Amino acid sequence: MAKPVSILVRNDLETAGKQPFAMSYSLDWQREYLRKDEEQFTQTLPRPATLDKMIDYACRLAQPFPHVRVDFYEVNGNLFFGELTFSTHGNVFENYKKETLQQWNSYLTLPRPYTKSDRY
């Protein structure tokens, strides 16, 4: 079964007059600093009540793919599925540290290339 390697929590509430943030966490809800300048966000977020379900569902949904981002939302203790994204962050990784990208790259195994003998 596929396994997530990190959790990114974002609020993106700038339009609501609140300070937006993006913070990384491990699967056991420990702060990680995978993005550049992430140390500026010092608040502590409570562990989501549905985190275990999020991880379980992310594993199941990601199973058939070599790479996919699985988005969830938790609202008042209720879990909502967001989307599957196959080009994480629009393939723009400038916000991530080089070490993070190298580590993630080591997890990726692509399928063999398509050949003419693969025709239907």
Q: 3-class SS at 118? A: helix
Q: What is the pLDDT of residues 58-106, one digit of tens each?
A: 999 999 998 899 999 999 999 999 999 987 666 667 888 999 989 988 9
> Can you give the pTM of this predicted structure?
0.82
CB atoms within 10 A of CB 8: 18
How far is residue 90 CA from its own chain's centroid? 13
CB atoms within 10 A of CB 87: 10
Do 31 and 25 touch, CB atoms closer than 8 A?
yes
Do 86 and 24 touch, CB atoms closer than 8 A?
no
Measure the CA–CA gap between 45 and 25, rounded to whole angstroms.
Answer: 10
CB atoms within 10 A of CB 34: 22
Q: What b/e readout covers 45-61, taking b as 16+ CB neighbours within 10 angstroms?
A: eeebebbeebbeebeee
Do 72 and 79 touch, CB atoms closer than 8 A?
yes
Q: Is the pLDDT of residue 1 over 80?
A: no
Q: What is the pLDDT of residues 28-67, one digit of tens each?
A: 999 999 999 888 888 889 999 999 999 999 999 999 998 8
